[in-house]
Amino acid sequence: MALMTGEEYIESLRRLKTRVYMFGEQVENWVDHPIIRPSINSVAMTYDLAQDPEYADLMTAKSSLTGKTINRFTHLHQSTDDLVRKVKMQRLLGQKTGACFQRCVGMDAFNAVFSTTYELDEAKGTKYHENFVKFLEMIQDEDLVVDGAMTDPKGDRGKAPHAQPDKDLFLRIVERLPDGIVVRGAKAHQTGAVNSHWHLIMPTIAMREADADYAVSFACPSDAEGLFMVYGRQSCDTRKLEDPCSVDVGNSRFGGQEALVVFDDVFIPNEYVFMAGEYEFAGMMVERFAGYHRQSYGGCKVGVGDVVIGAAALAAEYNGAEKASHIKDKLIEMTHLNETLFCCGIACSAEGHPTKAGNYQIDLLLANVCKQNVTRFPYEIVRLAEDIAGGLMVTMPSQKDFESELPAGRGGESVGEICRKYFATREDMDVEDRQKVLRLLENLCLGTAAVGYRTESMHGAGSPQAQRIMISRQGNIQGKKDLARAIAGIENR
């Protein structure tokens, strides 16, 4: 099958019987729902750019499994060049959407599960790797979107999965049958879950023997019997219900999404099972996926950061303040921080290495440094953007007020005329353009896009402490002590 277009992707979603709940109701036509559709448009961009000859080098790759041209989001990295191109592709999509485009998690899961199942089979004599390769060939051939799902609700963080009062707070195997397994539980905060054709499930933490039933990895379609999703609430989301095309939405075309994905005794055939109790390998899968996904943030967040910086610069220009030295300095600082994140993404890619399975793994230490910086720098970028934009970003009247013909002024001026009068700045500046850029900044810094930029920068791919733990493990303090001893002439006792 040829690479799908964005429109073909959208039509493919209509054929699914995915169960989606939002605002206490089941959403029958979720593909065209005004709150959900912008996130679907973001995914569609990953298809449309792959069709564009200008971007084909970044957006497509040659499959190591079939030799066919595939979307890079379904690719197994074959070199450090592949890893670098991945980061550059993610930056491009962030620039084009100003939002989360939702396919990174699946791509990162493919590469983690591929190498882990290879080593699991090598140690245990299982056939999980063969199962996974057949599954991925199907995904590549049909050009499908896969939700990589790792995060469990976790319940009481002080207790292991098997010790939870409610055993379902970590996804688990509840029944083993000759032809498959039955699973129960949920995956939380799942980016792009509703917009995916399939889900690729991984354990959420390293496991011990008592947690063997929770050491499970598998794939299942989004409309599998017993699977349903509850759509995540976002700030300012109901503005899309008022008018999906309103200036007040900020970014009316694109957006991100998260959902709670519930597995209510879902049957998984053996052919789609990639781990079923081999707890010794749960930690390997988690660590490798986390590394890939932390690398991803050096691309996608940088692309959205480019949009934030551009919007802030426009706001300054519309305010007539673009020549002020402090404005220039703030834009320089925003650019410095953003490019530092990009450097981290490129560095951990360039320092990658092959796994036993043959695909390439990033440098884990540098990937965790990348994500640790992502938990900080976007917050400063947003702070500076809000500083440049001014208070009107959060106090501006609605578009309906700007369009209102209701008389209000002493001279019979309408509410709309009053708004346009008092929010004008430079003579050559259109007031509506100022509205648009301030609403875009509100969306990026505070609104629905904050899920894909600011807040996700903190908690996506693991919250800050998760990276600090990995930095501690990978930092080789002992080796650095040896370097100091050698130069100081101290004998290693």
Reply yes or no on whether 9 is catalytic. no
Among 46, 47, 60, 100, the one annotated catalytic: 100
- Whole-angstrom CA distances from 181 to 163, 171, 201, 217, 268 are 22, 12, 13, 11, 5
**71 near 47, Cβ under 8 Å?**
yes
**111 near 359, Cβ under 8 Å?**
yes
**346 near 84, Cβ under 8 Å?**
yes
Alpha helices in 125-245 (DSSP H): 128-142, 239-242
Reply yes or no on whether 333 is catalytic. no
Reply yes or no on whether 191 is catalytic. yes
Reply yes or no on whether 456 is catalytic. yes
Reply yes or no on whether 104 is catalytic. yes
Pairing of strands 198-201, 146-149: parallel
Reply yes or no on whether 318 is catalytic. no
Q: DSSP letter string over 109-120? A: HHHHHHHHHHHH
* Distance of alpha carbon 407 from alpha carbon 413, whole angstroms: 6
Reply yes or no on whether 370 is catalytic. no
Reply yes or no on whether 293 is catalytic. yes
Give the residue among 449, 438, 432 at the shortest CA–CA distance from 396. Answer: 438
The sign of the CA dihedral 108, 111, 114, 115 is negative
Give the residue among 359, 301, 452 at the shortest CA–CA distance from 83. Answer: 359
CA of residue 399 relative to chain centroid, distance: 31
Among 74, 117, 189, 258, the one annotated catalytic: 258
Among 293, 317, 318, 442, the one annotated catalytic: 293
Among 47, 104, 231, 453, the one annotated catalytic: 104
Among 220, 300, 348, 445, the one annotated catalytic: 300
Residue written as token pair 């002080």: 158
Among 297, 318, 360, 453, the one annotated catalytic: 297
Residue 335 assigned as binding residue:
no
Q: DSSP letter string over 124-140? A: H---HHHHHHHHHHHHH
Give all strands (DSSP E) within 192-282, no chain letters.
198-201, 216-221, 227-231, 258-269, 273-276
Q: Which residues are annotated as a binding site for FAD?
A: 191
Q: Which residues are annotated as a binding site?
A: 191
Residues carrying an active site annotation: 100, 104, 191, 258, 293, 297, 300, 456
